[in-house]
Structure 1
């Protein structure tokens, strides 16, 4: 129940941020469309975000929270405070060096992340200029991740989940207010990112002060810091493998027709909604819980937490996958197809979104299984599995996408990029779960396979019915924005109803589904 309440608090606040994020993306699509300039912005925005997830939300969080939980459980308050101060000082020093190197090497970074921009000097120059503005965002947002991780370790999940709201507010203001004052309007977005980093950091600092853990940067050797860094180095790759695979998509998409990067961005954003609201929430909440269970030596609590999170993740992820596939065009036409965003853009994004949606359960499972290793202070195993996943991703692209691009002209190649990324995500998720089980750290509860098969069949029925009753694309675009929104909302509610009824017919009654959501162990998860 504690995990349920924490996940609900985190997910609720994240939902607020994500909804505002969709408002942001609707405005971006309507004002800027999918063009060479927006491709340039999305690439330079991805660079500090990729490094943020590599250094901060990926590797640092997965290494820092278990060590912080250990200090909280076994050390004095003074020792805990000393560790936090030294860790903050070390992280800040490393970030200053990384940001300085990034600013000095901006042209090289653009060439590395978007080699296709070299064919368009204007696009390349625009990307380099925007990167000089956006790259310091890495410093502020990584320190924000430090503050968020500390709050999460102490059971404070709501405010860290709400912090990203400032990024959305800043970019909305940049789009509506600042853009007209720039010769190149998209430059306003780069300044919006810079301001957002500062706002998010200073939003969380008062909450750290309430815990009595407002960091005072200290430097020098510290055993806790050394332990964190040892765990962080392999985790830097393992925790960010999904982002690495998505980054490969961006690099290759820069070689395709103009708009390809934007199509992948918008499709990824929609799949990120359930992943960000539910997957990140559950993964963030269970990491401290698993770390404390491991520190206490409680295998029962550890196993119960993993199994409960697994069922909840699949109960959310499988129907969400089916819903995104069944309502791809209606959702995109409702959110984005206005002004500069064309019908062709909607079709291109819908195809990529369908491909990404097939990997949603895998993306969510990674959020569950990876903390299973990190909480045990094992960062080596996820790295080995991540290497296999990345190599598989590259192999899939070499076999399935590159011939498509060079021999067949690359028509719809961005869909192939999304699909091969999904294939690699499934390799990663299945290997993580299998290894965790083989080592005896996780025991699968009876009835789990039956539960998975039943919700999968229910979700397939839901997707089929949604595709059957959904009007053609031209009908959606003939309606006004209000009518489209009302129709999509009605279709989503119908989809939920279809799933619940189908699940009940297979033995997963609403009461049992709710028991999965609330981690209620007194209600059997299935019948028969």
Structure 2
């Protein structure tokens, strides 16, 4: 792993720790209550809408930006960035206006089980938090610009502003008035966006208010991004089904899913996103130069590096799900029932990390080749399987069934991505790749067996924190 990637991992780890502290604070004040469910839905809506723009910008923007800069110069590339930013602002405004006019139907789309006070609270939260779509979307665009210019650190550090602000408002809402909650979300992500302004100036970015929908590069970006947006749409349909079923299964079900996703997301944010982000410009340049051997090597080596860290984490999360949830969230309004419910979901979600890692890095190999159709087809297949499994498994296993379905879909997606890249580029070193994964997997299982017996011994004799600490030391 390169120095930049390693530094990104460290910064992302610190950021995720603070982000996780945010979840600990909100769990203390609100547990798995209906109020927390309303907050989750209200935050999901702007995250979903910004995700359409963010996906196109962070993945589709870099190859086209690199092409413009190489063929037409830096000034044209900056102008292209400004144009995309201005057009994105206009598109976002249409989304925001729609949600403000039809807030209640939109909330019901995400959580059909909401009624009465829970519904009215979710509507109130949504009308405030929807404005964060601007800062979330534009942050991702300009993060893509910074990454294309080999600037990774500042944009990786920027989420500190959001997390600290949200934590402050959560505490204030718990002490003063719960209606402060959505303002923390909105203000926090605005500060995150503002935090990258100095670095933008440092890299030479100068914003212009150019709006040209006929720009060939913009049309290329739209053409390039449309399949990814379709893929994300299917993924979001799966998430909507998740939340709808969870809202009908049990009060607090949405919150339990969210806490488990946040915990697995911490590993994703530390070990998947920063690594794939740091290597993506190199992958894009290798593809641009038609150096396919380098592209295959970067992709394979990155996937192995991710697996080296993730497979032991997956085994550990499955075995230690309940004590981990108890240690992290088990205080205040987060009681025994919440712990058991969330731990079951966490253990079932854990395997999706490896599927997510492989999907992320191998899909970026396709994006580097300006091939978005293949990842989209694979994504739709995997999500289709996921959605079918959600209905079937939730009937038998409740919330855990939803998590198993999600994990299965992600793993299938990762496997199909690898197979598809081999079909497109020829031999990708699959035998060596499988051999390394097998060794990592066997080592992880042996570690898991040791962890299980160490915790069984220590857990019954020592306080939770000490027993977990001893277990983790034994794992290493």
Shorter-chain TM-score bucket reads over 0.9
The CA distance in 2 between the partners of 1:252 and 1:131, in whole Å, is: 20
2:469 to 486, 489, 511: 489
**Residue 382 of structure 1 contacts residue 432 of structure 1 at CA under 8 Å; is this kept in 2?**
yes
Cα deviation per residue 1:253-303 (whole Å; 9 max; x = unaligned)? 111110111111111111111111111112212221111111111112211
Give, in angstroms, the shift of residue 442 of structure 1.
Answer: 6.0
Task: Give the 5 Å matches for 1:151-300.
Answer: 151-182=146-177, 185=178, 187-220=179-212, 221-238=214-231, 244-300=237-293
In structure 2, the residue matched to 1:416 is: 401
2:356 to 356, 359, 363: 363
Distance 1:398 1:335, change over 3 A: closer
In structure 1, the residue matched to 2:377 is: 384
Give, in angstroms, the shift of residue 327 of structure 1.
Answer: 1.9
In structure 1, the residue matched to 2:112 is: 115
Task: Give the 5 Å matches for 1:320-339.
Answer: 320-339=313-332
Q: Does 1:92 align with 2:89?
A: yes
- Range with bigger deviation, 142-151 or 230-239: 230-239
Q: RMSD in angstroms over aligned alpha carbons?
A: 1.9
Secondary structure of 1:340 counterpart:
coil
Give, in angstroms, the shift of residue 398 of structure 1.
Answer: 2.8
Cα deviation per residue 1:169-208 (whole Å; 9 max; x = unaligned)? 11111122344332xx1x2221101101210111011111
Give, in angstroms, the shift of residue 240 of structure 1.
Answer: 6.7
**Residue 260 of structure 2 contacts residue 342 of structure 2 at CA under 8 Å; is this kept in 1?**
yes
Distance 1:445 1:417, change over 3 A: closer
The CA distance in 2 between the partners of 1:463 and 1:158, in whole Å, is: 34
Secondary structure of 2:425 counterpart:
coil
Cα deviation per residue 1:32-87 (whole Å; 9 max; x = unaligned)? 1111111110111111112222221x233211111112223333122112211211
The CA distance in 2 between the partners of 1:485 and 1:157, in whole Å, is: 35
Give, in angstroms, the shift of residue 475 of structure 1.
Answer: 5.0
The CA distance in 1 between the partners of 2:380 and 2:85, in whole Å, is: 29
Secondary structure of 2:332 counterpart:
coil
1:28 to 26, 35, 49: 26
Cα deviation per residue 1:109-146 (whole Å; 9 max; x = unaligned)? 101111111xx211111100100000111111101111
- Range with bigger deviation, 464-473 or 322-331: 464-473
Give, in angstroms, the shift of residue 491 of structure 1.
Answer: 2.2
Give, in angstroms, the shift of residue 431 of structure 1.
Answer: 1.2
Secondary structure of 2:330 counterpart:
coil
Secondary structure of 1:470 counterpart:
helix
The CA distance in 2 between the partners of 1:308 and 1:454, in whole Å, is: 15
1:427 to 378, 397, 412: 412
The CA distance in 2 between the partners of 1:177 and 1:14, in whole Å, is: 26
Cα deviation per residue 1:346-373 (whole Å; 9 max; x = unaligned)? 1111111000002211111111111011
Give, in angstroms, the shift of residue 243 of structure 1.
Answer: 5.2
In structure 1, the residue matched to 2:64 is: 67
**Residue 59 of structure 1 contacts residue 240 of structure 1 at CA under 8 Å; is this kept in 2?**
no
**Residue 363 of structure 1 contacts residue 429 of structure 1 at CA under 8 Å; is this kept in 2?**
yes
Distance 1:472 1:170, change over 3 A: farther
Give, in angstroms, the shift of residue 6 of structure 1.
Answer: 2.2
2:42 to 13, 32, 44: 44
In structure 2, the residue matched to 1:436 is: 421
**Residue 69 of structure 1 contacts residue 153 of structure 1 at CA under 8 Å; is this kept in 2?**
yes
Flag structure 2 segments of 5+ consecutive residues without an equivalent.
Answer: none
Give, in angstroms, the shift of residue 399 of structure 1.
Answer: 2.7
Distance 1:380 1:431, change over 3 A: same
The TM-score normalised by the length of structure 1 is: 0.86
The TM-score normalised by the length of structure 2 is: 0.95
The CA distance in 1 between the partners of 2:236 and 2:455, in whole Å, is: 33
Flag structure 1 segments of 5+ consecutive residues without an equivalent.
Answer: 405-411, 498-528
- Range with bigger deviation, 457-466 or 438-447: 438-447
In structure 2, the residue matched to 1:466 is: 451
Figure out how many residues of one structure are paired with residues of the other and give that number.
Answer: 475
Give, in angstroms, the shift of residue 225 of structure 1.
Answer: 1.1
Give, in angstroms, the shift of residue 215 of structure 1.
Answer: 2.4
